[in-house]
Structure 1
Amino acid sequence: MTGLGIAQAVPPLAARATAIGGSPVREILAVTARPEVINFAGGLPAPELFDAEGIAAAFRDVLAHEPERALQYSTTEGEPVLRAALAERTTARGLPTDADDVLVTTGSQQALSLLATALVEPGDTVLVESPCYLAALQAFAFAGARVVAVPVDADGGGIDPDALDELVTRERPKLLYTVPTFQNPTGRTMAGERRAAVASVAARRGVWIVEDDPYGELRFEGERVPWIASYDGAQDRTVLLGSFSKVMAPGLRLGWLRAPAALLRACAVAKQAADLHTPTVNQLAAARYLADRDLDAHVARVAGVYRERRDAMLAGIADALPAGSTWTRPEGGMFLWARLPESYDTTALLRGVVEQGVAYVPGAPFYAGEPDPATLRLCFVTQTPDEIGEGLRRLAKGLR
C-alpha cells in the first residue's frame, strides 16, 4: 500500500475504532472479563462445547507421527492434505472444488485482508450490506477503499438487487462484500432468489462478490440455501470464505478462501508477504481431525445447544425491550438484531445497561453510511438459557 493509501485509510479507521472503543462503548471490554457480567456483546462460540479431547488427540497424533513436517515451514497456499479435505467438504455442499482452488488463511479475517490487498487500490469503491460485519468495514477502510452501503430489504431476504445493479453501474466498484447466511450483525439470511439475482448482477456487470460464510453450518431450522458462488454466472466472479472458528475452535486461527486461479495466486503472493504461511501444525491437526472425527456430527450437537439458547432469548426479548421494538428471528448462527423506537440511542444507553451487569453491542458502528442509533446486536450462544433469562431481565432494567 502506498503512503497515500495509508493516509486515506487511517481517518475512517480511527473514527470507527473510536466508535467501538471509546466511552461508553469501551466499557464493554472492561466488563466482559468480570464473571458477574452477562455478556451478550461478544461474538465468541461457547467454549464448553469445543471438542477439546478430539482436537488434542489430533495434535498428539500429528506430533507423534510426523513431528518434522508439523514443526517445519509449509507452502503459502496451505498443506495439501488440508486443502484436499476442504475441497471435498465444499464439493459435498454443492460447489465443485479442487484442492488447487483453495488457499488456507490464518483465520477468515486474513482472507479479507488479502482480498483487499489483491483487489482494492486507494480510492476504489467497495459495496457492502447495511449493516455490515464490522471487521470487514475496517479491512476495506484500511485498504483506502470508499465503502458504500447497498440497500437491504430485510423482509425480502437481503440485498435489493435492483439497487445493487444501479450502484454497480454508477459507482463501478471493485467488489461486493456480503455475509448472506446468518449475517453478522443481523442474523438474517439472504433468500435464494435474491442470491440468484445478485449473481446475475455480478456476471452482467463484471463485479467481484466476496461471499463470507463463517456461520452457515450452524443452522437450527429451515432448509440450507446454496452459496451465491454456486449460482449460474457467479462461479468466475465469486470468492467464497470459510472458517473453522465457529465449528471447531477459533484459537486454531484456520480459515480459507476459494477463488478463481488468477485471484487465488494474487492472494497467495499477498499472504507470502504477510506471514509466509498459516501454522503447519494447526493445519495438519485440523486435517487429522477431519479424517478421524465426524465434524458434521459435532456441529449438529453444537447447533442443537445454540438453538435452545436462541429460543431462550426469543422467549424473553419482548419483555426486555421497550414497547415498539422489533427484532430478527435467525434460523441459525449466533446473533439477534434489535431495533428500539426512534427516540432511543443504544450507544448512550449502554452505560446504564453495563451498570446492571449486562452488555450488548450498539448497532451504529456496523453501518458504512448513515447509522441507525436505535439498533443493537445480541449474541445468544455463549450463555446458558438461565443466564440468558437473567441477562434479559438486567437489560430491561438498564434500558428503563
Structure 2
Amino acid sequence: MPDAPGGRAGVPVPGLASRAARTGGSPVREILALTARPEVISFAGGLPAPELFDAEGIAAAFAQVLAEDPSRALQYSTTEGDPELRAAVAARTTARGLATGADDLLVTTGSQQGLTLLATALLEPGDVVLVEDPCYLAALQIFSFAGARVVPVPTDDEGLDPVALDEITARERPKLLYLVPTFQNPTGRTLSADRRAAVAEIAARRGLWIAEDDPYGELRFEGEPVPWVASFPGAEDRTALLGSFSKVMAPGLRLGTLRAPAALRRACVIAKQAADLHTSTVDQAAAARYLAVADLDAHLIRVRTAYHARRDALVDGLSEALPEGSRWNRPAGGMFVWATLPQGYDATALLPQVVRHDVAYVPGAPFFAGPPDATAARLSFVTHSPEEIREGLGRLRKALEHAHGGG
C-alpha cells in the first residue's frame, strides 16, 4: 500500500512548530526571484556591485592559505573564530573609535547569524523587542522565530525618535532594542550623534539591551562618520555591535562579527556551537590573509567612489521618474534611497505592472512592524552603472504613468 502524503497511511506526521507557521518568507527574496531576468534593471535587491569585488585579491588569499597550511585551513576550528581575523577586525574597530580586543569578538556566518545568536541568547517567547519602523526585514523574521513581541518605534526623516523610544520603553518594558543607525536598511537614514547619545542614555536608565547593526558604516561617501551607539555613555555594557564583510569584501563569504559584553558573548558562543560549531575555517583564513596583504581601504575608496556616482544618478533622476508630489532622501552613504509616492498610489499593487516594463523596486510596506505606508518604496543604487540607472528610471517613469493612467 502506498504511503499517504505526509506519512504512512493513517498516521499523519506532526505539524510544523508554531514559529515556522507564523514566520513568512522574505518578500524581497521573492521579488528578486521575480526580477531575475537579465533584461530587468532592478533597484530591488541590496546586492553589492559584483564588478567591484576584488576577485583577484580574494582568490590569491584563498590560494595562499590552501598552499601554505591546508591541514589547518580545511580542518575544524574554534567556535570563537580565527585569531588572526579577530585581531584584524579588532584593530579596524579600534581605529574607527571603539577600543576593541580580539577576545571581544565572535566570528559569525554573516552578521545575520550574529542577530540570530543574540535572539537565541536573550529572548524568551513573549519578550518585547523594539525596532525602528520601518525595519530591516530579516530582523523581523528572526524575532518572529524567537517568539518575541515586536513593537515599532516611530521614525522621521532623521531616523528613530528618542522621545517616542523613551515613552514606549517605559510602557512596554522591552528586553532589546534593534537598530541600524548608519545608512539604515531600508531608508538610508543616519541617526545623529545627539540621538545616539539619547538612545544610550535611555537604554541605561530604562534597562535594556541594544543590538547595533552596522553593515554599511564603511560605505560613507559624504560627511563625517558618526560614532557607534556602543561608544556613548550608558551603552558600553549593554550593546552588541554586529559587523559584516558582505558589503566591504564579498557577501558570498558569509562572514560577520559580533562584539558584545563578556557574559552575552559567551552565551552567543554556546548558541553558535549548537547552530553550526563554527564559521567556515577556510573562508576565515582567507579573509584574514586578505586583510593582511591587500589594501582594503584602497578597495573601499574605489567602491565608495562608484557608489557615490550611482547615488547621484538615482537621486538626481527621481524628479522625472516619480509622480509629482513624491518625496525621497539623499543618503550620504550606504545602498538605499527611501521614496514615497503621492497619496493614492500603492507601491505593492503597482509592482507587477512595473516589472512588465523590465524595472523593479521593493515596496516599502513589508518593512513596517506597525501600520505600513502603502506609498513607500526602497530603491537600491549600487548594483547598476549610472547609465543603467538612468535607463531604469526612464522605464520606471513610463511604467508608473501607464499604470496610474489606467492604460
Per-residue CA distance 1:238-269 (angstroms, 9 max, x = gap): 00000000000001110011000000000000
1:256-275 pair list within 5 angstroms: 256-275=257-276
2:177 is the counterpart of 1:167: no
Instruction: Give the corresponding residue for 1:129.
Output: 132
How far is the alpha carbon of 1:66 from its aligned partner? 1.1
How far is the alpha carbon of 1:342 from its aligned partner? 1.6
Contact 1:185 1:366 in 2 (8 A): yes
CA RMSD of aligned residues (A): 1.5
1:1-400 pair list within 5 angstroms: 6-7=17-18, 9-14=19-24, 17=25, 26=30, 28-32=32-36, 34-154=37-157, 157-400=158-401
Gaps of 5+ in 2: 1-13, 402-407
How far is the alpha carbon of 1:168 from its aligned partner? 1.1
How far is the alpha carbon of 1:6 from its aligned partner? 4.5
CA gap of 1:298–1:110, structure 2 versus 1, over 3 A, is same
Contact 2:31 2:44 in 1 (8 A): no
Aligned-partner Cα distance in 1 for 2:81–2:348: 42
How far is the alpha carbon of 1:31 from its aligned partner? 2.3
Per-residue CA distance 1:132-158 (angstroms, 9 max, x = gap): 00001111111111101001121xx22
Contact 1:130 1:152 in 2 (8 A): yes
- Provide TM-score, normalisation by structure 2: 0.93
CA gap of 1:12–1:150, structure 2 versus 1, over 3 A, is farther
- Provide TM-score, normalisation by structure 1: 0.95
How far is the alpha carbon of 1:5 from its aligned partner? 12
- Amino acid in structure 2 at the alignment position of 1:388: I
CA gap of 1:376–1:173, structure 2 versus 1, over 3 A, is same
How far is the alpha carbon of 1:300 from its aligned partner? 1.2
Aligned-partner Cα distance in 2 for 1:108–1:245: 9
Contact 2:192 2:226 in 1 (8 A): yes
Contact 2:129 2:174 in 1 (8 A): yes
Per-residue CA distance 1:152-173 (angstroms, 9 max, x = gap): 121xx22111111111111111
Contact 1:102 1:259 in 2 (8 A): yes
Aligned-partner Cα distance in 2 for 1:4–1:352: 37
Aligned-partner Cα distance in 2 for 1:4–1:97: 45
How far is the alpha carbon of 1:11 from its aligned partner? 4.8
CA gap of 1:4–1:110, structure 2 versus 1, over 3 A, is farther
Contact 1:28 1:354 in 2 (8 A): no
- Amino acid in structure 2 at the alignment position of 1:243: S
- Amino acid in structure 1 at the alignment position of 2:116: S
Aligned-partner Cα distance in 2 for 1:137–1:18: 10
Aligned-partner Cα distance in 2 for 1:209–1:66: 39
Of 293-302 and 240-249, the range deviating more from structure 2: 293-302
Aligned-partner Cα distance in 2 for 1:114–1:350: 34
Contact 2:26 2:137 in 1 (8 A): no
Aligned-partner Cα distance in 2 for 1:378–1:94: 31
CA gap of 1:204–1:5, structure 2 versus 1, over 3 A, is farther
How far is the alpha carbon of 1:28 from its aligned partner? 4.3
Contact 1:83 1:102 in 2 (8 A): yes
- Helix, strand or coil at the partner of 1:236: coil
Per-residue CA distance 1:287-319 (angstroms, 9 max, x = gap): 101110111111111000000000000111011
Aligned-partner Cα distance in 2 for 1:5–1:140: 18
Q: Answer with 1 or 2: which has the greater Rg.
A: 2
How far is the alpha carbon of 1:12 from its aligned partner? 4.1
CA gap of 1:19–1:252, structure 2 versus 1, over 3 A, is closer
Per-residue CA distance 1:307-357 (angstroms, 9 max, x = gap): 000000011101111110000110000001100012110000001100000
- Helix, strand or coil at the partner of 2:383: coil
Tell me the matched-pair count.
388
- Helix, strand or coil at the partner of 1:224: coil
- Helix, strand or coil at the partner of 1:148: strand
Aligned-partner Cα distance in 1 for 2:280–2:162: 40
Aligned-partner Cα distance in 2 for 1:114–1:218: 25
Per-residue CA distance 1:357-380 (angstroms, 9 max, x = gap): 001100000000111110000010
Aligned-partner Cα distance in 2 for 1:159–1:377: 18
CA gap of 1:297–1:18, structure 2 versus 1, over 3 A, is closer
How far is the alpha carbon of 1:18 from its aligned partner? 7.6
